[in-house]
Amino acid sequence: MRIIIGIIMALAGVLVIIKSEWFIANFGASAWAEEKLGTSGGTRLMYKLLGLSFIFIGFLLITNLIGGFLMATVGRLFIR
């Protein structure tokens, strides 16, 4: 099941990256992204970074490395 969910996440990330202009046309520009990420392309960059994170998490799920990645990055915050 994790492989199917990972593939769906990776494909959703690719869709967000390819169709970022469609997302901007339908959902509008993000004032926060325009302020923090750039003046004329901050929203596009935000959608592309969001898509890349979906792809990254999807591949982590497919390869079953999500647990190791989380333990190596934020896991030490919760373990004494």
Structure tokens at 7: 């593939």
Give the Cα separation of 36 and 43 in Å (integer).
Answer: 10
Report d(CA 41, CA 35) in Å as an integer: 10
Asked if residues 30 and 42 have their Cβ atoms less than 8 Å apart, the reply is yes
Block residue for tokens 């199917």: 4
At 61-80, the pLDDT tens digits run 999 999 889 888 888 888 76
pLDDT, one tens digit per residue, over 5-43 is 999 999 999 999 999 999 999 999 989 999 998 877 899
Indicate the pTM of the whole model: 0.86
